[in-house]
Each structure stands twice: as C-alpha cells, then as structure tokens.
Amino acid sequence: MARKNGAYTVIDLFAGCGGLSLGLYQAGWNGVFAIEKNPCAYATLCHNLIEKKHHFKWPKWLPQKPLDILEVNEIYAEQLKGLRGTIDLVAGGPPCQGFSMAGRRIENDIRNQLVFAYIDFISMVMPKMLLFENVKGFTYAFDKRKNPNALPYSTLVIKKLKELGYDVCPLVIDFSDYGVPQRRKRFILVGVLNGKSGEAENFEKKLKANRERFFKRYKIPEHPTIADAISDLLRSNGEVETPDRKGFHSGLYAKTSNGYQVLMRHNIDNIIPQSHSFAHHCEEKIKCFERLLIEYPVRNKRISGTEREKWGIHQRGLTILDAQSIAPTITNMPDDYLHYQEPRIMTVRECARIQSFPDWFEFKSKYTTGGQMRKKEVPRYSQVGNAIPPLFAQQAGLVLKEML
C-alpha cells in the first residue's frame, strides 16, 4: 500500500474521550476522523487530539462534531466506500455497558445493537486491519439457561468479519501486563484483511515480545503500583481553588518519585494538576473513611452487603485501595474507591493516572453527574472509566505498524 511520508492511517469508532486515539497518536499513527456521539466525551477528544495535537485530518464531507455511527453509515455510505484502499486501521469497539459483568448485563440494551453498525462500517471501508475492544463479558452469551443455543456477541462479530475476508484473532488481555497500574481484562480482536490463517495471531506474540523494550525506553516499572502512579498527588501537598470548578479545591504537585510519574508529567510545568479537584464529603463520611483507613484489615477488596452496613458505608460498596498493589478496574463511579492514605475518594486526575493518561491530557465537561442524567451525560469520571488505557493502545499501535 502506497503511503504518503510513511504515514499509517486510522479511523477511531466509538472514540470516547480519546484513550485509544491518544495511544495510537503516540505510536505514530495519523488519524483520519473519529466517531463519538456524546458531546461531553467529544469535547475532551476535540480539545486534546483535534485542537492541540492535530491528530486528525478530517475529510471535508464529514462534519467535525459529535457523530452517531448509525447516521454516518446511512448518510455517508458512498464516501465511506470511497475510502477503500486508503485506510490501514479501524480501531475501537461499541459501548460495553450492556455486556459488562461489573454492572447489570442487559440483553436488550439498545447499545448492544451498535455491534452491527460497526460491522456495516467495516463492510463499507474495508480497512487493511482491525483493532476491536470490548469488556470480557462480550465473550459470554446472555442467559444460556433460557436459550441453550444463545451465542456470545464475540462469536457473531468473528463470524461476520471472517465472511468479509478477515483473518481474526480473539484475545482476552489484562492491561496490567503492559505497564498499566490496574487489573483490567478486556476482549481484544485483531483482524487482517485477506490475511493468511494465523497471521492475526502474531499480534499477541509481538505485543509480549516488545514489552521489555517498551518499559526500558520509557523507564517505567513492569508493574507500577497505585503509589507509583499517584503518590505525588496527595492532598497533604497543599491545595488551591480549583480553576474550573467553583467552590472546590485542587491539590498541588509534589516531586516525582519514579519513572511512571516522570512519564505522566512529561512537559508539564504547572503546579496545579488539571482535573485534580477534591470531592466535598460530609463530616460523617470523612469519619467513616478515617476509621476504615485505620481499622479495616483488607485492601483492594470490595466491602459490600452486611459488612458495608457494619462499617457505616451508605453507598453500594467501597474498595480501600492498596498503595503497594496495582488497582482494581477503574470504573465510571467515583465513589467506588477510597484513597489508600487520605479519607476521600479519588480525583479525576488520579483515576486518569491509573488509566495511564498523561497529565497534559485535559478532561472537559462536568466532573460528575447523577440520577437520570447518567443516561445522557458522560462527565469526566465516566470518560476516564470508559477509556482504553493509552499506554496499552500505544504498544498495540507499535505492533500493528510492525505487522503492516
């Protein structure tokens, strides 16, 4: 395939705030455009990767705004077919909430149908390669007791892609194996158009083979701990008024103490980390948190059920983080985790660090939301929790370039 200046081209579908696009940008890929429907997530993607980094070329025929893939497929079908032969990679996976084992698995969640919109898009553009991501629950069928013949969505996607001519390799990957300080297992599918049988399997082999070299290059530990990720962001460093959140306070930076922090803070000269605003906790909650930090014997394990009531925890559950371990999966619920040292929940920036977003990456829109607005809004905490860790995406991007 002829390349202008050796550029590799990628389209990001269901892009969210841009975790996958960011990693691919850092791996040297050139974005063509991204599709993200939610205005909150798109605002963050746009600010960082369109306006600041000019990652996307963006075709003139496609509006540069939040886009719905169903409408794009319908309105711009001819233009998408016109891209055939020019796109090296289509990356991204449909929203995963309906498949997630962490929440309620909802078989008729309308978002699950976006899988078929993804297939339609691929059938029009026919990129050289695919990188598809979803939650591990994507590989499980819905309610096998009611319908013994039910197939997982992953099986349906693999079948359709094979029919289109892709050699595919389905994997379940734990991102903690790739320098991300959290246990986060995800379904990853790599596809190679007209590839020989087994060609897609080279992805995982190369990914593992490149790890050590990647860690050495960026001087990061193989398994950074929670403290490695965020110990320079303690509230005890001092605080000031949050620049973009009236009535709240943000923490200040301390000195870096390890390679992971140095990497996250590369080219940062501010004293106030962006999106490092502390939640307001009532006195009762602070006392509960203080008691848990002193007396509760277990870390990194969710406190729920009667145990939760015994300790005076009013929310659905709580996990006290362990400074010297990697984190559990970061979710889009800010109240899920108690800081390992201070009586408070995590800030957006701390969650972003654990997701491997560098500090120059600025999150936009509301910090959090609640009630019925959860169905419409994707605030900063949710943007972080829904993202693919950029550090993994960068390593994946390097391997995909090598395969091409």
User: Is 96 one of the annotated active-site residues of the chain?
Assistant: yes
For the record, the structure tokens of 175 come out as 């991102």
CA angle 59, 62, 63 (to 5 degrees): 120
Length of the chain (residues): 404
Name residue, tokens 């560098």. Answer: 358
The catalytic residue among 17, 96, 169, 351 is: 96
DSSP per-residue letters across 342-377: SSSBPPHHHHHHHTT--TTS---S-S---GGGGGT-
Where does 175-317 show beta strands of DSSP type E? Answer: 185-193, 239-241, 249-251, 302-303
For the record, the structure tokens of 348 come out as 């957006």
Alpha helices in 226-347 (DSSP H): 226-230, 259-264, 283-295, 305-310
For residues 18 and 393, the answer to whether their CB atoms sit within 8 Å is no
CA distance 251 to 237: 7
Q: What CA dihedral angle connects 121, 125, 130 and 131, to 10 degrees?
A: -50
* Alpha-carbon distance values, 363 to 45, 75, 273, 274 (Å): 8, 30, 11, 8
For the record, the structure tokens of 21 come out as 């696009």
Name residue, tokens 């948190």. Answer: 289
Provide the annotated active-site residues.
Answer: 96
